[in-house]
Structure 1
């Protein structure tokens, strides 16, 4: 990169004001709302599921030790389901992000690239 390119990049890079303008924008607010709509319920679900498993392991020894097949018991199955749940949530998040988050993030990214937020911050006339 030449000195001229570096100077041009310095003129185009958004300042703190541009980032604050982006954060205050309706596009960014919608992006955060969409993310929150997925993350909070999924976090609550997983924590409830995890703590249920831990509590059962601590207090329901007979139930967790119930044989299902050979040496496989309920506790082992529920423990393995913790991993399955983690992979399932990851799969759902990737699908959700591709469908709902990425298009909204692209709008915010494009607004940075074309200087919309810099103009809103009063950096570009």
Structure 2
């Protein structure tokens, strides 16, 4: 209960209306752009992982088939690692190119709003 009181006092003392800032088109575009990348990629990877798990659980004969010196299960298991690293690399590249510059601009805008609200003449 005391945390609720503290949060409301902090919110009232804040020089910036964060809810209004979150409703800004720039912030909404940032969220939308991030979600359009992250959610589909997550869904695809989870589907791929579940296929691997179900094959391991229910398709023993298929997974035991020899293929290039190892069985199919080992190759698919290694492919899980490769796709994990590929997804991580894709996300880092995406974030560096599309998310980080927008985030930096929004942060600079917030810092400017705070500076003005506190009366700093710079």
User: Same-fold call, TM > 0.5?
Assistant: yes
Is the Cα contact below 8 Å between 1:66 and 1:73 reproduced in 2?
yes
2:102 corresponds to: 104
Match of 2:91 among 78, 90, 93: 93
Quote how far apart the aligned CAs of 1:17 are.
4.5
- 1:53 partnered with 2:79: no
The answer on whether the counterparts of 2:15 and 2:118 sit within 8 Å (CA) in structure 1 is: no
Instruction: For residue 17 of structure 2, give the secondary structure of its aligned residue in structure 1.
Output: helix
**What residue number does 2:62 align with?**
63
TM-score by length of 2: 0.79
Per the TM alignment, residue 101 of structure 1 is displaced from its structure 2 partner at its CA by 0.5
Unpaired runs of 5+ residues, structure 1, are: 1-13
- Alpha-carbon contact 1:17-1:118 (below 8 Å) kept: no
Q: 1:23 to 1:118 in 2, by over 3 A?
A: farther
- Mapped to 1, the partners of 2:67 and 2:58 lie a distance apart of 19
Aligned partner of 1:76 in structure 2 is 74
Higher relative contact order (CA 8 A, sep 6+): 1
Superposition deviation, residue 69 in structure 1: 2.8
SS in 2 for 1:114: helix
